[in-house]
Amino acid sequence: MAKVTVIEPTKDTSLVRKLRCAAYCRVSSASEDQLHSYSAQVKYYGEKFKDSESEELVDIYADEGITGTCQDKREEFQRLMKDCRRGKIDRIYTKSISRFSRNTKDCLQSIRELKNLGISVYFEKENIDTAEISDEMMITIMGGLAQEESTSISQNMRWSIKKRMESGTFEASSIPYGYDKINGKLIENKSESEIVKLIYEMYLNGCGVLQILLYLNEHNVKTKTGKTKWSISSVIYILSNEKYVGDTLLQKKFTTNTMHARSLVNRGECPQYYIKDTHQAIIERESFDKVQTVMSERSSKIKQKEKKKNVFSAILKCGKCQSSYRRKKVNGIYYYVCKKHDKKADFCPSKPIPEESIRQAFVRLCNKLLLHYKEILLPMQKTLRELNTKRFSGNAKVFELRKEIAEIREQKHIISRLHTKGFIDEQKFVEQTTSLENRIEKLKRELNKISRSDNEDETSEQLDMLIDIFENRSEIFTEFEEDIFSQIVEKITVDDNTLKFELMSGLKFGEKI
């Protein structure tokens, strides 16, 4: 029999590497009290590890004045996670779950990633150590409470802002061009207000927004931030802002009630508050009203033009450069030209196509399908139906596979219960669970092979619709019919002198121009 010598564990703690620890601190805002709290946290963790024999402090990660509901905005937290992924840290200390994250989803996601990296987190206030496997449920509960606390604070702030808007005491933080803010009040800035008056005068004299923009840029007129590059949106903002007649419209934007809240333009989702004569006016009310009327009329005309866009605009594509086509009128005749070619002929060799040529090509295609749909479309329809029949005949197999998956999952549940009660040791539990998971994955792959035919169903339905169009047609096509075109054509690719029509159901046909 072999002789076995037992080697006792060493008692020399000097050979044991200290745990590399990190501390994460965060305060919610830039108020003096909370900045003091921040300093206290940094000082506390700096002292904590001074005399420890088993742990050493690697670094302190601290975010100031940043929301805890979104990890993306916390640079120090992101640096902490990056260092963890690089293997620099073994354990993280933080004051509480609400300091670590106020979003349950992000909190759990981070904890799980850290556990997979072999890194534990200790929350001092809740006395939770993620090194204990049973703590995830507690983290979920505490994270939920922290998230609820954050939501409650946010709701209280919104309520306060709403009440101040209703009473007319709310002061917007933004300062429009043409004004300065002195002692909380908007006061006219003489040099900027002259530019505002010039913009209104030019617009009322017939200049468009683009002309005004070019004038401001050519004359190096400075923006509010000191730049000499104006944008179209800046000019439109000045022409449409009620601030210039001395009034204030509150809640032009609103914040969503979701985690990771977003700021959206208020298009009637929330009430707005219009307050007259809140500050000194720069533009006379009559001039302002005239500008709003002209802007509305011009906007209406642009929308009408957009509605009149030809049916080919959205679906014509260049086969050489993949650009879209635009419609142009030359000597009373409409053409479609590749956008790159139109910008510069050297960019793309594609030639302009007369609109009438596209119409006639579609008429020819329709007549071919009308005369030969029985030879072209019906065989395809028959083939697809046969494929669907075969697939549906496998429904019994689908049922059996799903039943087997359910039975295996029940086995997993039983094994888990036996393991919890101590009837199965850890090694046996892992082996059996892994084996059952592999069987489930194999059955799922088999199930997917049988039932992966949603696209086939859609193709079959579209083909039926296409056949109906030509089957119910008694006379040939003598002119272009926009309704039929919109129903059946999904894309046209222009390739030299050929138009490649891509119809619904994926059918493709070429027609010479």
Domains in the chain, start-ordered, CATH in brackets?
17-151 (3.40.50.1390), 188-303 (3.90.1750.20), 358-512 (no CATH)
pLDDT of residue 454: 45
Q: With contact defined as beta carbons under 8 Å apart, do 61 and 26 qualify? A: no
Other C-beta atoms closer than 10 Å to the C-beta of 192 total: 19
CA distance 470 to 475: 10
Look-up of token digits 């697939």: 391
pLDDT at 15: 54
pLDDT tens across the length of the chain (513 residues): 555 655 565 545 555 678 889 988 876 544 444 444 556 666 777 778 877 888 888 888 877 654 444 555 678 888 899 888 888 889 999 887 777 775 666 777 788 788 888 888 888 887 878 777 554 555 555 555 555 555 555 555 666 656 665 665 566 667 888 888 888 788 888 889 899 999 999 998 888 888 888 889 888 888 888 887 888 888 888 898 888 888 877 766 666 554 455 566 666 667 777 778 888 888 898 988 998 888 888 777 666 655 555 778 778 999 989 888 988 888 888 999 998 888 888 889 898 999 999 999 999 999 998 888 888 888 887 777 666 655 544 455 665 776 677 677 767 767 777 777 777 777 887 788 888 888 888 887 776 666 555 455 567 777 877 888 888 777 889 899 888 898 888 899 998 889 999 988 788 899 988
Residue pointed to by tokens 């539990």 = 429
In angstroms, the CA 77 to CA 70 distance is 11
- Going by their DSSP bridges, the two strands 55-63 and 19-26 should be labelled as parallel
Residue 497's nearest CA partner among 385, 300, 353 is: 353
* Share of the chain residues as helix, strand and coil, in percent rounded to the nearest 5: 55, 15, 30
Q: Where are the alpha helices (DSSP H) in 246-344?
A: 285-307, 339-343
324 DSSP 8-state letter: B
**Residue 408 near residue 439, CB atoms below 8 Å:** yes
Helices (H) and strands (E) in the chain, counts: 15, 18
Give this prediction's pTM: 0.37
Rounded Cα distance between 393 and 451, Å, is 11
Angle (nearest 5°) at CA 342 between 339 and 348: 75
- Report d(CA 420, CA 422) in Å as an integer: 5
Nearest to 494 by CA among 357, 328, 330: 357
Given phi > 0 = left and psi -120 to 50 = alpha, else beta, which region is 324? beta
Helix, strand, or coil (residue 284): coil
Per-residue pLDDT at 33: 44
